[in-house]
Amino acid sequence: MDSKKIENAFVEVIEALGEVQYKEELKDTPKRIADSYKEIFYGIGINPKEVLKRTFEVNSDELIIEKNIDFYSMCEHHFLPFFGTICIAYIPNKKIFGFGDILKLIEILSRRPQLQERLTEEIAKYIKDIFGKMVKSILKEVEVSGIFLTGGDTAISIIKNLEVEELEILLELSVGTVLLKITEGKYKELPIITKAGSFGDEKILYESMIKIKEGIL
């Protein structure tokens, strides 16, 4: 970040206001603004993936919820601050992220020119990307009969991390739940079931995985 350039720019902003006298009280304002921008925009240039490298084993697959995480950011449309709270929920599947790492992710993504809608999308994107890499690492160690993926964005992230070249749609198991097969790539012939997040319940998950295990699908 070029603090001197920011400072000089705000000298011009103050002068451009016209009737405002560049008096003693405003003398150091451009420098104070430039210094504050180091904190407000410190997330620029930092790769958010770097803070979500750690996971912890847990003997549970119950929903994890982190509620009312305070944040602030700078609206990129008008360069004015906005404030709010964020709630994050995910099913861990025996692994969880450290709460401090999630806070760091939110902080990095919010400390840059932002839009509120995009901020939530980016947080979800990076968490899902880590899940995708976790699945890839598991497949290196364990032979599986198939994969069940809930949520379109999660499925896309995991399929992308598996470097799948081609998929074939085999059949629709129920509304919003589709059976596919990898036809090209490292995991060729591996069945994948995807379920839209808003359709069905845990019953379809159980029934589908039983069928995969028994080789019915």
On whether residue 199 sits in a domain, the answer given is yes
Query: Measured at the alpha carbon of residue 66, what is the angle toward residues 60 and 68, in degrees to the nearest 5?
Result: 165
Query: Percent of the chain, pLDDT > 70?
Result: 84
Determine, yes or no, domain membership for 137.
no
pLDDT band at 91 (very low <50, low <70, confident <90, very high): low
Among 126, 161, 193, the domain boundary falls at 126
Are residues 52 and 34 part of one domain? no
Residues 6 or more apart whose CB falls under 8 angstroms from that of 70 comprise 83, 84, 85
From residue 138, give the alpha-carbon distance in Å to each of 1, 73, 161: 40, 36, 12
Q: Tell whether 135 is covered by a domain.
A: no
Element (H, E) at 165: none
Residue 131 placed within a domain: no
Does the residue 134 lie in any domain? no
Please tell me the predicted confidence (pLDDT) of residue 153.
Answer: 72
14, 19, 33 from 22: Cα distances, Å: 7, 9, 15
Instruction: For residue range 142-181, list pLDDT tens digits in order.
Output: 777 777 777 777 787 788 878 888 888 887 777 778 888 8
Q: How far apart are CA 3 and CA 35, in angstroms?
A: 7
Same domain, 99 and 119: yes
Strand partners, 81: 74
Share of the chain above pLDDT 90, in %: 18
Domain that holds residue 23: 3-40
Residue 24 pLDDT greater than 90, yes or no: no
Quick check: 10 pLDDT over 80?
yes
| Domain co-membership, 120 together with 162 | no
Report which DSSP code applies to 63. P
Structure tokens belonging to residue 71: 């944040």
Are 121 and 169 part of one and the same domain? no
Residue-wise pLDDT for 105-144, tens only, equals 889 999 999 998 888 888 888 877 777 777 777 777 777 7
Does 149 lie in the same domain as 89? no
Cα angle: 51, vertex 55, 58; to 5 degrees = 150
Per the structure, the count of domains in the chain is 3
Distance between CA atoms of residues 131 and 185, nearest Å: 20
The answer to whether residue 166 sits within a structural domain is: yes
Report residue 212's pLDDT band, with 50, 70 and 90 as the boundaries. Answer: low
194 domain-assigned: yes
Domain boundary among 70, 96, 126: 126
In residues, how long is the chain?
Answer: 217
* Domain assignment of residue 136, yes or no: no
pTM for this prediction: 0.62
So what's the pLDDT on residue 74? 92
Q: How far apart are CA 202 and CA 196, in angstroms?
A: 12
pLDDT tens sequence across 41-72: 999 999 888 887 777 777 776 777 778 889 89
Spatial contact of 1 and 38, defined as CB atoms under 8 Å apart: yes
